Structure 1
Amino acid sequence: MPTVKTTYLGELRTESTHLQSGNQLITDAPTDNMGKGEAFSPTDLVATATGTCMLTTMAIVAQRDGIELAGSEVEVTKIMSQTPPRRIARLEINLKMKTNVALDDAHIKKLENTAHKCPVSLSLHPDVEQVIDIQWL
């Protein structure tokens, strides 16, 4: 069964529906590539998926150990290549982690390793540079 159904709406805009939940999102081409930039671009979604995957997988591992990460945040800066072909060249990922308990070095290492090995991150082409900074607040 398909996961997502996407319809091209014209004017470089799409509407995608997550078939299990019915949630929808719109994409636009970015302003530097003939678009309006009024919504996420497809490459913005790759950046978003990388950051959210890191947060989510860290939260799964933390939850198993009775640790809550609510209030943690991730900011991702997407940098496109300057030479053809057009592609994501670099993702700068800044995780700001909050916990409900003080963590020892072993837990911090475990959670940070989880971020580096999230499924989206591992699915990206090796030419996409991933710079990950994790701050424990």
Structure 2
Amino acid sequence: MPTIKSSYLGNLRTESVHLQSGVKILSDAPVDNNGKGEAFSPTDLVASALGSCMITIMGIVANRDSISLEGLTWEVTKIMQATPRKISEIVIDFHWEKPINDAATIQKLKNAAKTCPVALSLDPAIKQTLNFDF
């Protein structure tokens, strides 16, 4: 059974619908690749998925260990290679205003992020640079 149903809307734009929830995501070609850049590009979605997956796995560990991740944010920077056009690096900067004061638990959360399914699924040629500001 499909998870997502997508359609081409024209003008280098797509719409994807998560079938279970009905939530929609638009994608648009970026300005530097003939698009309008009015929505996430497909490669933006890949980079965003990496960050979201990492925090989701960290959240699973945190919930299991009764840890609040309140105040944890992250920024994603996608770096493109020109020829062939592809993602060469994804940089994720994690910031946590009030981290817990337990080095072993912090390391456990960092390890969880690094082993999320998206991180493990991406081609090893895509460099994953993680900066933990906590």
Given that 1:80 and 1:86 are in contact with CA atoms closer than 8 Å, whether structure 2 keeps it comes out as yes
Q: Which amino acid aligns with 1:90?
A: E
Q: Which runs of 5+ in 2 are unaligned?
A: none
The C-alpha deviation readout for 1:91-131, integer Å capped at 9, x for no partner, is: 111011355x7331110111110111111111100000111
Q: Which runs of 5+ in 1 are unaligned?
A: none
Instruction: Name which of structure 1's ranges 102-111 and 126-135 shifts more when overlaid on structure 2.
Output: 102-111
Q: Which residue of 2 aligns with 1:92?
A: 91
Misfit runs of 4+, over 3 Å: none
Give the C-alpha shift of residue 73 in structure 1.
0.7
Between the aligned partners of 2:97 and 2:58, the Cα distance in structure 1 is 12
Q: How many residues align?
A: 134
The C-alpha deviation readout for 1:31-89, integer Å capped at 9, x for no partner, is: 0100000000000000100011111110110110010102211101000003x211000
Q: Which residue of 2 aligns with 1:74?
A: 74
Q: Which amino acid aligns with 1:106?
A: A
Q: Which residue of 1 aligns with 2:132?
A: 134
Sequence identity (%): 55
Between the aligned partners of 2:121 and 2:68, the Cα distance in structure 1 is 27
Given that 1:52 and 1:74 are in contact with CA atoms closer than 8 Å, whether structure 2 keeps it comes out as no
